[in-house]
Amino acid sequence: MTRSFYLYFKEIFRKPTKSEWEILKLVEARYDKEYTFYIFITHIIVYSLLIAPPFSEIQMRILPYLLGVSIARLILLLQFYTKNIPIQRVIYFSGFVGDGLVYVVFMLGIHSFPSLGSFYLLNSYLMSFIFPILLYSTRLDPKACILSAFYFSILHIVYIFNLPSSVSDQFSFFSKYFLILVYWGSATLGTVFVLNKRKDTTDMYNLSEERRFMLHELELAKKVQDALFPGNIKIPSLAFTYYRKSPNVIGGDFFDFVQLREGNVGVFLTDVAGHGISSAMVASIMKVLVSTIPYRFKTAPAKLMDYLDDRLAHDLNKYHASAIYLFFDFIEKKLTLGNAGHPYLILAHKGEDFQELETQGAILGFNIKIPPISEKTMPIASGDRFFIYTDGLIESTDPEGNSLGTEGLLALLNRHRQSSNIKELELRLLTELKTNYGLDSFSDDTMFLILEVEE
């Protein structure tokens, strides 16, 4: 307790650091404005003395002093907008004049009615001065409540010394001066509140700045990640369109094309476990691995997956990912694919319905090899369409909480399989997904890629 009091006392007179001072100056005007309006509105309460005993008997004598209080508060209000004098000085000047005039009113009251009852009654009124003291805690100046308590203490001492002797002699020292203890107790509470508010203000500002910085960095990271995705490239014999969305600005869903010198192409899509920056970085590393992988692996999906599994397990042992790799051989008109724990490929030969092609393979990064990644090969022809995606798509739900699922996705694709081209197919899919499944509010990274073999 003693240590806490010492720390607060030390904090009162501690000079703010440069950064703290800059932060406090940014918000100080707003707090001073609030104080100015509060004190101007609440000072109207002093006019209640006109109807309170014993002042109701001397209304005309005290009215000029109450009007003086209003003038002091009005000067403060006007000065806040003109700003000819530093507002802090005007705040203290207005308080000095206004509070002093109120104490003069109380001295008039006790001299007009010098009795034991009047003293007790006036003391109960004087208790209300804790409110202007506490009102200073709405500002950010830790000395404001202390200065106010000091000023009220001086006023009260003057008030006690000017008591009629017929009244003063009837009371003990404590009875006459205990209000000073009340004022300083209020000042202590107000000062603690101010110190806590100053700390909260600087902490919140720093957190806001850190958040702004992080958002800026995320935007830069998003631009970097966007640059890693295939742009408006033209791939001979293969048309493509894709959609991706991440609730965390950047995510771990990624795809890339591996163009080979014979005119063939590989399509790699991965979903790194987790969300946000770490997943995005791992996905970027996987892009580099796929781009620099030995050529013999680029034409053999199973070997490519085994290679990535080993690298993830040994180099990034805390991360794992599902992936699918399609190798289009346009010379021999065939497709070879390998799947490592990823949602199955969905395909539709020209004029036919979409259907899943089941494949097996363990997820990458655990190096368990069970089940082993097996390759599947099939013929391809112009007009064949292929749909690969990440699980965020099928795990989305409608307003009733029902997930889309693979069956729902197949039904959705087949409802729009007559689309004249894959871009039209994508737009129809997105329209229905946004309408029925709230695509814009998906909680997981979501990506799909539509491919079509061309002549």
Inter-residue contact 321 to 273 (CB < 8 Å): yes
Distance CA 320, CA 309 (A): 9
Alpha helix (H) residue ranges in 43-58: none
At a CB cut-off of 8 Å and minimum separation 6, what does 30 contact? none
Reference 270, options 337, 220, 334, 320; nearest CA is: 320
Distance CA 183, CA 154 (A): 11
347-386 b/e with 16+ CB inside 10 Å = b?
A: bbbeeeebeeeebebbbbbeeeeeeebebbeeebeeebbb
Q: How do the pLDDT tens digits run along the chain, 455 residues long?
A: 454 555 555 565 566 677 776 777 778 888 888 888 889 998 999 999 999 999 999 999 999 999 999 999 998 888 877 766 678 888 888 988 999 999 999 999 988 999 888 988 998 999 988 988 888 888 888 888 899 999 999 999 999 999 888 888 888 888 899 999 999 999 989 988 888 888 888 888 888 888 888 888 888 888 888 887 887 788 989 999 999 887 777 888 899 999 887 889 999 999 998 777 888 888 888 888 888 888 889 999 999 999 999 999 888 877 899 999 999 999 999 999 999 999 999 999 998 999 999 999 999 988 887 888 889 999 999 999 999 999 988 887 766 777 889 999 999 999 999 999 999 999 999 988 888 776 666 667 889 999 999 97
Could you state, in order of their start, the residue ranges of all structural domains in the chain? 2-211, 229-453
Which tokens belong to 46? 């002093």
Distance CA 250, CA 339 (A): 24
Reference 133, options 179, 66, 167; nearest CA is: 179
**3-state class (DSSP) for residue 104:** helix
Q: What is the DSSP string of 231-261?
A: -S--BTTEEEEEEEE-TTSS-SEEEEEEE-T
Distance CA 67, CA 73 (A): 10
Q: What is the CATH number of domain 229-453?
A: 3.60.40.10
